[in-house]
Structure 1
């Protein structure tokens, strides 16, 4: 699954930087770039992106007009507001409008990447849950709340739902093992993301890994369930 992003910024150079940043994060693509409110409104309506990276101040007015229009037509598009404004009022308006995140310029890649990864994990959780109980609601609304007694606390970059998906892959036997690329395709994530979770499971003794040499090219790192040994 590739999540589509619409970038809205009247500065072409900044818009290009945000496009470059987006394409460096697994699971995201840019479906369009708008430099003014009129184009942003048309593109958000026609393209229906999963997420809009929205500049606060545009030549014709405030970008929050787009946010409120999305809400008025009940469009399932989320917004990350990006601004150089340091006043409290825009942040308050953004919170009331239900923005997913709020990033101050100049945007640093690590902060940008973390915002997109949180959004990706949030979307995965929203599509994975079939029924709701209070615990599920709390995880969706407060994903980074401190775990209660008995719940595992995962390190930064490890989401419980994605981890369970990868663990489920290895419930079935895979005598030849699986590569990070194969696991990524099976769970609908990027290869880098899959490798991070696989290495986490290796570190916690749930998986083992071996280098498998093919007929040509470099050896491939393959992952096996701890009790399953690669065939010789």
Structure 2
């Protein structure tokens, strides 16, 4: 049985990308796309999706307000927040309102696939069970570690996310340019960039100048791996 998904995103092109990503993942089907918070609430009531991919920045009410209204009405639909919003208050609000995951744009196909797979396993863990065992309960609450959670000692998740955000929108940066964008030292930026290169999150291109060592330039890999 496939799980129905509602995409809530006001940018048509971004919504189209999210839709295509979901359609590539076995066990999920798209039920519709909503571009406002009010439309999202109406579509959730009408379509009864299993999962909502919810943007925070919507033209009428915020995604976090949509989530609060759902929970206030007793609707426990699964929600994955997908947004460029990185403010700590927004992240805390989404977690407090019961979001299953929080995914920062831009992201690769594998990032979404990982979280949808975790949601599917949690969704199916208690199906048909009146008195689940501890292993079943753990499947509901456990989150699979992502690449960003498996950082080498001395690297922080917060800075890692900032480095990835600096590479958003197709940017190609040197370690020095990334350091300036994030507000860290060039050496630190190089450590994060090289880590993401080692786990295939970032592609590296050598820029050969007129003299000296070639400059290493970094960019996010696309869903196709390039």
Q: TM-score, normalised by structure 1?
A: 0.59
State the distance in 1 between where 2:20 and 2:124 align: 23
What residue in structure 1 maps to residue 100 of structure 2? 100
How far 1:82 moved relative to its partner? Answer: 0.8
Highest RCO, 1 vs 2 (Cα 8 Å, sep ≥ 6):
1
How far 1:141 moved relative to its partner? Answer: 1.9
CA RMSD of aligned residues (A): 1.7
Structure 2 residues without counterparts, runs of 5 or longer: 146-226
Q: Name the count of aligned residue pairs.
A: 145
Structure 1 SS opposite 2:30: strand
How far 1:71 moved relative to its partner? Answer: 0.7
What residue in structure 1 maps to residue 18 of structure 2? 18
State the distance in 2 between where 1:120 and 1:133 align: 18
How far 1:9 moved relative to its partner? Answer: 0.5
The Cα offsets for residues 4-59 of structure 1, whole Å up to 9 and x where unpaired, read as 00000000000000000000000100101001112111101111110000000111
State the distance in 2 between where 1:48 and 1:88 align: 30
> Mapping of 1:101-140 within 5 angstroms?
101-140=101-140
Q: TM-score, normalised by structure 2?
A: 0.60
1:61 and 2:61 matched: yes
Q: Using a 3 Å threshold, how does the CA distance of structure 1 residues 56 and 143 change in structure 2: closer, same or farther?
A: closer
How far 1:144 moved relative to its partner? Answer: 4.9
The Cα offsets for residues 156-191 of structure 1, whole Å up to 9 and x where unpaired, read as xxxxxxxxxxxxxxxxxxxxxxxxxxxxxxxxxxxx
Q: Larger Cα Rg: Structure 1 or Structure 2? A: 1
What residue in structure 2 maps to residue 48 of structure 1? 48
Structure 2 SS opposite 1:58: coil
The Cα offsets for residues 85-117 of structure 1, whole Å up to 9 and x where unpaired, read as 121111100110110100000121010111111
Q: Using a 3 Å threshold, how does the CA distance of structure 1 residues 66 and 47 change in structure 2: closer, same or farther?
A: same
State the distance in 2 between where 1:62 and 1:31 align: 21
Structure 2 SS opposite 1:57: coil
Structure 1 residues without counterparts, runs of 5 or longer: 146-232
Q: Using a 3 Å threshold, how does the CA distance of structure 1 residues 105 and 38 change in structure 2: closer, same or farther?
A: same
What residue in structure 1 maps to residue 37 of structure 2? 37
Tell whether the 8 Å contact from 1:15 to 1:33 is kept in structure 2 after alignment.
yes
How far 1:143 moved relative to its partner? Answer: 5.7
